[in-house]
Amino acid sequence: MSNGLRPTVNLHQLEVFRAVARRLNFSQAAEELYISQPAVSKQVKELERTLGVSLFLREGRRVHLTDAGRLVYDYAGRAFALVEEMGRALAELQGPDRGYLRLAATAVPGIYLLPRVMAAFQERYPAVELYLEVSNGAAVTRQVLEQQVDLGFVESEVIPEHVHWQPLTSAPIVLVASPTHPLSSSEEMEPAELHREKIVVSERGSATGEMVERELGMLGVKPARTLAINDIEAIKQAAAAGLGLAFLPKVCVKAELRRGTLKQLTVRGLSLQTQIGFISAKGRRLSSSALAFVALLRKTG
């Protein structure tokens, strides 16, 4: 085989080769596969021709793997394992019928994204028991790594390197205020106007709060005062009551914007967005329930 050309290998040839490699005997491999010995020899020769290497050393009636044969045997084993795993995953996606699905999430996905998906999942798979804990990013990550939960849902700013991350949806961050706030009538405000304002912020270490602080700093903005509240619903109520402006993911304030209890403000040169996705432990295969939940989330989210 010349460099740069991909060999065309079929799974049947690999299956025959693996049988011979396991037994180091063409006749016994033929018996195992319920085919003739000439058919076994033909498939092995075809595979050798395709790969451009000799897979076996034949010394009379004895057979040994070459270095290339041992390498192909290792890769063939991994290939069949992947095919088997793919089959299991596809079968599981047809629908788990029992068991538990344990989820952990930060406040934004946990309160405003997951509940409606959980309801749809529960209707489709009523025998699967669901569990959801809403916490901060560090706690969600710890639960995933310690395998206390199957999936963790977080914003993209809180992802450590030692977990597997899959983005699901974008989440714009918007500035909101009471409709009676003096700035609510402005079509667009200058960043400098925030110097005079009180900003209602979430708990220290939150993904949204850290992003807002970083982006405002890049614009040279330092609000006059801040009011820290560690609950999104309380932050919304505080902003609606006129206690200050608040930066929140738009998904959290859709209902208030629609009812008119909050007004979205626009700041020149400021556009904030985060990603919401799920994390899982690296090297850990997702359960059938987790796979089905993610598939439903992608479909309905």
pLDDT in tens, 69-112: 999 999 998 888 788 767 766 655 555 666 789 999 999 999 99
Residue 61: what pLDDT? 73
Rounded-to-integer distance, Cα 294 and Cα 301, Å: 10
Handedness of CA 255, 129, 279, 164 (dihedral sign): negative
Q: For residues 59 and 47, what is the distance between their CA atoms, to the nearest angstrom?
A: 20
What is the predicted pLDDT for the residue at 5? 47
Mean pLDDT within 185-189: 85
Q: What pLDDT was estimated at residue 18?
A: 93
- Mind listing the pLDDT tens digit for each residue in 262-291? 999 999 888 888 889 999 988 777 888 888
pLDDT of amino acid 1? 46
Q: Band of the pLDDT at 156, cuts 50, 70, 90?
A: confident
At residue 2 the predicted structure's pLDDT band, cuts being 50, 70 and 90, is very low
CA distance 24 to 102: 47
Q: Average pLDDT of 161-170? A: 87
Strands in the chain per DSSP E: 56-59, 62-65, 99-105, 128-134, 151-155, 163-177, 198-201, 225-228, 245-249, 263-265, 272-281
Whether residue 4 is predicted with pLDDT greater than 70 in this model: the reply is no
Q: Is the pLDDT of residue 230 over 90?
A: no
- Give the count of beta carbons closer than 10 Å to the beta carbon of residue 62: 9
Reported as a single tens digit per residue, the pLDDT across 204-229 is 656 677 778 788 888 888 877 888 88
Six-digit token string for 97:
């019928």
The Cα–Cα gap between 175 and 269 comes to: 13
Secondary structure E strands in 66-125: 99-105
**Dihedral angle, C-alpha 301, 250, 169, 113, nearest 10 °:** -40
Q: Is 174 exposed, middle or buried (0-12, 13-18, 19+ CB in 10 A)?
A: buried
| Across 148-163, average pLDDT | 83
Q: Are 163 and 280 in contact (CB under 8 A)?
A: yes
Mean pLDDT (the chain, rounded): 86
What pLDDT was estimated at residue 299? 85
Strand 151-155 and strand 99-105: the pairing is parallel
Q: So what's the pLDDT on residue 155?
A: 86
Amino acid at 180: T
Mean pLDDT of 225-245: 89
Query: What is the spatial distance between Cα 177 and Cα 179, in angstroms, rounded to a whole number?
Result: 6
SS3 78: helix
Q: State what percent of residues in the chain have pLDDT above 70.
A: 91
- Tokens at residue 284, please? 């850990």
Over residues 24-49, the mean pLDDT reads 92
* 10-29 confidence digits (pLDDT tens): 899 999 999 999 989 999 99
- Going along the chain from its start, the domains and CATH numbers come out as 11-92 (1.10.10.10), 99-169+276-300 (3.40.190.10), 171-273 (3.40.190.10)
pLDDT tens, residue by residue, 100-131 = 899 999 999 999 999 999 999 999 888 888 99
Q: Quick one: angle between helices 67-92 and 11-23, nearest 10?
A: 120
Whether residue 52 is predicted with pLDDT greater than 60 in this model: the reply is yes
* pLDDT value for 219: 83
pLDDT at 206 (0 to 100): 66
- The answer to whether the CB of 154 falls within 8 A of the CB of 105 is yes
